[in-house]
Amino acid sequence: IDDITLESLFFADDSILMADSVENAKHNLNILIEVSKKYGLNLNREKCKIIIYNDTENTKEIEGIKVEENVKYLGVTIDNKKDLFKTQREMTKKKAEKYANMTHGIICKSVNRILIGKTYWKCVILPSLLQNIGIIKFNQKEISKLQTIENGVYRKILEGRDNTPISVLRGEIGSSLMETRFIESKLLMAKSIIEGENELTKKILAKVREDRKNTWNNQVNTYLQKIGMNYNEIYTLTK
């Protein structure tokens, strides 16, 4: 901005402005406000939110913008805690349970329950449910819970008995495993960052890869080992 570099991420008209301290956040906001005025723009403080990590001073607001416990960005809720996606993971589980019941209600009124059921679940529900799972670290228990919910949906669609093997249900529907979707999403996200032009996200990914204690990084390594792939081979992946 006017030859001033601010650490930020933009997607369409949504943006995140980052700073390593409250004072720097104030400084960056003032720069953004002043430069915006030159182009006839104003910062809408009512729509802006701030989260602070490791806030020992219990800050309530910065430059008139309220400090919150979490913010929603591009459909993902981000907490101000170490486990920054805890709320989002809980919401995903609740949505899965809710949508599973909705799917049952829809197919009960359908002429072709199998066609409508699997189309509704795979093409409408799953994209909404699994949005941005590439960036969020779900543990194995949480993934298994989502798989159990999905298995129940397929059993209802096919009117399968309790002793019907899960592999048969998935085969009839034409569905991959929930874990496979998580593996694919994480690796393809890493590939898109590596091949992209955003230097900030590349820098973040590089730091994450260097951090051996980072849970997202460890999960990616586990997935790579599971499918017998080296991290440098991510370039060869296709969507």
pLDDT in tens, 48-59: 899 998 888 888
Do 108 and 59 fall into the same domain? no
Do 157 and 188 fall into the same domain? no
Domain assignment of residue 158, yes or no: yes
Residues of the chain with pLDDT under 70: 1-6, 12, 239
Look up the pTM and report it.
0.82
The pLDDT of residue 189 is 92
The pLDDT of residue 239 is 62
The pLDDT of residue 2 is 52
Do 62 and 131 fall into the same domain? no
Total domains in the fold of the chain: 3
Do 98 and 169 fall into the same domain? yes
Do 219 and 164 fall into the same domain? no
Rounded CA separation 37/130 (Å): 39
Do 60 and 93 fall into the same domain? no
Interhelix angle 178-195/140-158, rounded to 10 degrees, is 120
Domain assignment of residue 161, yes or no: yes
Containing domain of residue 122, as a range? 86-175
Domain assignment of residue 122, yes or no: yes
Rounded CA separation 122/37 (Å): 46
Do 151 and 99 fall into the same domain? yes
Domain assignment of residue 52, yes or no: yes
3-state SS class at 200: helix
CB 232 within 8 A of CB 238: no
Do 51 and 14 fall into the same domain? yes
Do 20 and 58 fall into the same domain? yes
The pLDDT of residue 4 is 54
The pLDDT of residue 150 is 95
